[in-house]
Chain A
Amino acid sequence: MSLMGLTAVELGKKIKSKEVSVNEAAEAALDGIKNVDGTINSYVTVLSEEDIKKRAEEVQKGIEKGVYTGPLAGVPVAIKDNMCTEGILTTCSSKILGNFVPTYTAEAVVNLIKAGAVIIGKTNMDEFAMGSTTETSYYGATKNPWNTEHVPGGSSGGSCAAVAAEECSYALGSDTGGSIRQPSSFCGVTGIKPTYGTVSRYGLIAYGSSLDQIGPVAKDVTDCAAILEAIASYDPKDSTSVKREDYNFTSALKDNIKGMRIGLPKEYFGEGLDEEVKAAIFKAVDVLKQKGAEVSEFSLGLVEYAIPAYYVIASAEASSNLARFDGVKYGYRCDNYNGLHNMLKKTRSEGFGAEVKRRIMLGSFVLSSGYYDAYYIKALRTKALIKQEFDKAFENYDVIIAPASPSTAPKLGDSLSDPIKMYLGDIYTISANLAGLPGITVPCGTDSKGLPIGLQMLGNCFEEKKIIQTAYAYEQSREYVHCSICK
């Protein structure tokens, strides 16, 4: 087995004990990329072997001198291509940022570097994180490592595929409407979307600022807790950053959920949910019951309003956030133009892909005079009501269990033809972003096609520990399954 078949924490231990050098670990990641990335296309950019080696040597020395003492020191990581990395191309999988080399690094990545991470490359995604399949990337679709005829999910499809295909040890993703949890489910890996404000958004290229959160993608819950502990911080550079009392997420890694109150929202298990996915989730719920969790069903209101509210809010924020891409200070500029306005329009029209334009148009419309109240304000009022529904639910429950997606990974090309159908696939993940809640996805089986099924757990705001503890307890009941491409 390759060193990339180990979990990040296991690899970190081997590095610490000098059984494996930092450079050997980085080389294993590069070997993984050489073996499969021609097929999978997880990466937009892979750093040069020389740069990786230089960093690996630096970290090796740092470990020996006692500078890097954490569990992730020396472990190779892949970063989603919407996080700025100083001196490293950052494209957001868009043509408009095809030549953009940031002059600073996103705070979450700075935190990883301080923890001794070795960055291997930048991962593919849906353009500007708008999509659920990683097919809207300007740099070609990423394939699902379990079956390359299927999508890896999105928008953090490159990060999740890279972890599953063992082209890195772990990765960072971002989640605006499910973009960590859904592709983690499709790729058979574990991912966390933290409570809004837990991880700094400084240097994360914004899509929907009130919804975006960076989070870890890895092989198991232990890794995810350790990564989250490393990246979470209060950051004055992000005005929505929250100063939390407790960042000790790994202390929740306990195989004990006696008395944990778990709620199953009836509305999440009804029409539209694939029977095999449903069966796998209920099987996982049985494991939790056997371990002493108190499980019951309840009714979560307003579920059907989450997607329309989300698409109004996310598109509105996107139309505003993406106004900065205009070919003036950085990125793509069109060739022939007639005056400033024509240059701006042409640059944007040539630089953005179809899905991004669709959302900018919708966002501009719902914010326009005459429609602002009917759509945008209405969506914000709906968001307040959805938040109240979750507040009520968490009076009775510690953890809410849901599927991560109505089905397993669809085939390439099946989703893009019908945008609304694609948006409906986000039904189980989107509410957590609207309500700011933390969520985790862990693998819980495969369907008859051999594609992974994910189990999602949602917690109340600032209660990551409860979902980490529940997910960890569940995980003890099953082995991690490596996908066949890396065997």
Chain B
Amino acid sequence: MNFFKQGDFYIMANIISDETIEYVGILAKLELSEDEKEQAKKDMGSMLDYIDKLGELDTSGVEPMSHVFPVNNIFREDVVTNGDDSRNILSNAPEEKDGSFVVPKTFD
């Protein structure tokens, strides 16, 4: 990833390195084939070049808006309202045993 910082925004030239793709793959929990990696480098580079357009905008002093309306945390009493649905829920499990989900061994 090569950024040339100039003033407040970045100029294009998003060359995605092998290391970046590896790192993003770890974050995204995706295992890409060599071909997929090459494609991902190209796609992500061109997307970021395009997204860098946002750098033209002066957004200083603008509050980031995650929601269009003011939203607050909505609390409720800590009372169970749904029934025990574990049987049905487990019926979707790839593997189950004794009322639990089975996963591969996580540590030795």
Contact = CB atoms under 8 A, between A and B. Distances in A.
Interface of A: 99-101, 103-104, 196-197, 210, 236, 239-240, 242, 302, 304-305, 307-309, 311-312, 319, 323, 326-333, 337, 339-346, 348-349, 352, 354, 357-358, 360-366, 368, 374-375, 377-385, 387, 419-420, 434-436, 461
Interface residues of B, number: 52
B78 interface: no
A345 B31 contact: yes
A420 B50 contact: yes
B73 interface: yes
A312 B28 contact: no
A331 B53 contact: no
A8 B33 CA distance: 48
Given A239-B71, A374-B10, A420-B46, A305 B64 contact: no
Given A340-B103, A349-B32, A365-B24, A328 B65 contact: no
25 contacts: A100-B92, A104-B85, A196-B69, A197-B69, A305-B53, A309-B54, A311-B47, A319-B28, A327-B94, A328-B94, A331-B94, A339-B104, A339-B106, A341-B29, A349-B31, A361-B25, A362-B43, A363-B28, A364-B28, A378-B54, A381-B65, A384-B62, A384-B63, A384-B64, A436-B69
B89 A339 contact: no
B105 A101 contact: no
Interface of B: 10, 20-21, 23-25, 27-32, 36, 40, 43-44, 46-48, 50-55, 57, 59, 62-69, 71, 73-74, 76, 85, 88-89, 91-95, 101, 103-106
Contacts of A363: 28
Nearest to A323: B29
Contacts of A349: 30-32
Given A368-B24, A380-B64, A239 B59 contact: no
A101 B91 contact: yes
B30 A357 contact: yes
Contacts of A365: 20, 24, 27, 44, 48
Given A305-B54, A377-B64, 11 more contacts: A197-B69, A236-B74, A312-B54, A331-B92, A340-B104, A340-B106, A368-B27, A375-B54, A379-B51, A380-B64, A420-B50
Contacts of B52: 308
Given A348-B30, A365-B44, A242 B69 contact: yes
B27 A343 contact: no
B93 A103 contact: no
B44 A361 contact: yes
Contacts of A104: 85
Given A308-B53, A330-B93, A333-B95, A360 B30 contact: yes
Contacts of B48: 365
Contacts, number: 162
Given A328-B103, A343-B104, A368-B27, A379 B54 contact: yes
A337 B64 contact: no
B41 to A, nearest CB: 10
B64 to A, nearest CB: 3
Contacts of A342: 104
Contacts of A197: 69
B73 A239 contact: yes
Q: Which 4 A-B pairs have the closest CB atoms?
A: A380-B64, A436-B68, A333-B94, A330-B92
Nearest to A424: B50
Contacts of A327: 94
Contacts of A383: 64-65
Nearest to B32: A349
B49 to A, nearest CB: 9
A99 B92 CA distance: 8
A311 B52 CA distance: 12
A364 B44 contact: no
Contacts of A341: 29
Given A242-B69, A327-B94, A381 B40 contact: no
Contacts of B76: 236
Contacts of B63: 381, 384
A326 B28 CA distance: 11
Contact of A339 (B10, B32, B105): B105
B57 to A, nearest CB: 6
Contacts of B46: 420
A329 B27 contact: no
B62 to A, nearest CB: 4
Nearest to B16: A365
A342 B25 CA distance: 12
Nearest to B86: A103
Contacts of B32: 349, 357
A364 B31 contact: no
Contacts of B85: 103-104
Nearest to B76: A236
A381 B64 contact: yes
Nearest to A370: B1
